[in-house]
Amino acid sequence: MIGFGPHLMVDGYNGNFEALASVEAVTNFLDTLPAEIGMTKIMPPYVFKYDGGDKPEDWGVSGFVIIAESHISIHTFPEKGYFSIDIFSCKDFDIPAALEIIKSFFGTEDLEVQTTSRGTEFPRDIGMAGAITASQRRRLY
């Protein structure tokens, strides 16, 4: 098999203000999501509140959790009801299930969803990588 894995990108609109504004809620989301989608959390989530800097209305909560399969990150903008979540994994996972968890947790059906495959030429198996390289060399000579 070749390819690193899926990258799910979610933009949420009209999310629940309390969930978006809470460091505790976002921490809980990042702490429980990996197991719910079959991933392996390898560190506690790191979550912090941002004051918005020059644009106070852009305050929110950001965080990430490193998983054995890669990472999950989130950024929230409670005043705007908006959040963005990335789930990047080196193994396939149930994307529809992840989306249902996100909708339920943040209280919105209003999601913009994009997926892509990362590392499409990444050789997962070193033996396969050797075979591909050998095959390419035979064609060159």
Looking at the annotation, which residues are catalytic?
Answer: 70, 75, 90
Provide the 8-state DSSP code for 81: T
Strand order across the 70-77 sheet: 46-50, 60-67, 70-77, 82-89, 5-12, 111-118
Residue closest to 20 by CA, chosen among 78, 65, 85: 78
